[in-house]
A and B are shown apart, each in its own frame.
Chain A
């Protein structure tokens, strides 16, 4: 419980810090909105020139993309500390200070900074979901809303797991690596299109190794009222976001291993 209270205080402190430069926060938010919405622009241009692909239309792609964007926006909001872990904590030695406080390091890193500009991506995701709803005349009955929330929760867990893994890598390489960006930003990009478009081994990677497919593709099929062209059973589809939570748990284990390594070899 005191962890939640502490996070609330961290949040308030972070917001106050950013409010000292309100112009900057707003500009960055707007910039992020545009930076993230251009991907859907590319999809639109491609559908405009080529027409439907394998039975998928622009509206379908928009829903895949909007959902995963919302998931990532929330995860990004919560994991800045892990994102900059290498440069701001390991390289500077500031991680020592984290260890000198009587709280779990992970909790302190979540509380490190809550960037308000991430609202840009969140807004973009919502706009794109709206675009999809309009393009496909989608209906949103309560069970779909619940499924969407559950899907997004699984997505948040997955992406946060990736950020935790990125931070863990920094114990060995010091500088924050682009490898994880590959999986987070790249994952968001890959999730834009239905898995059936990708080659087999890549599809399997996105299902079993970094289960983005489980938090972006399978459950959204249900929302679209479509079945999986690859034959995944219909009852399984709504359950797959659980994979995100499993991934997050594994990432935390790796993190603890990294912290143990840090305390035995120093900085």
Chain B
């Protein structure tokens, strides 16, 4: 269907011709767009962040990259979910031997969305451990730990251990019978190491007996010490992934340059 011409605008609505010496008027929407761009430009001019972002986001990935390559990101998002829910759980939780159980009960039963957020944190921790193992399996079976990525495998292994430490220290915090006795057992396993074991057990408990400082010790390790280390190591892990790139799956055949294929010479 042919496009019909617009009916002529009434004279009052027609844009007025510019008067001599008057500059062109910029419509407000355009101004808004310009403001955004110029703000980003202002930051970029002073930091050169766009180069780094381009380096991180627009990488070349090998042929054959598939869904298994998303397991690392999945673990990262599990960690972020744990971090966010954990920060907010800390707003209601009391790390004291007499009040901890009551405050955990309060979160679950009385705080709005408390059961949901606590559930996310609880099940999320299990999810994170499962995802780490799946990610580790992907890296292992695809041979992605080989040269030059050995250091990233080592960093990943440290992250695995730190995640275990998180799971162990977090287990005590609800402070019910299960978490209490599980922590007793864990401290005694630590103490069963020869020579240094007994002193490590004391360090973990804050003394020879499970006491008032044991819970606050675990809480501090759980929410300050280890998360900081994990966040820093994730940064190093991602830096190396970006720098070295990802590996092609083992079944992908390399395609040599056409000039190098013998038949074609």
Q: Do A and B bind each other?
A: no
* Residues of chain A having any CB pair with chain B under 8 Å: none
* Residues of chain B having any CB pair with chain A under 8 Å: none
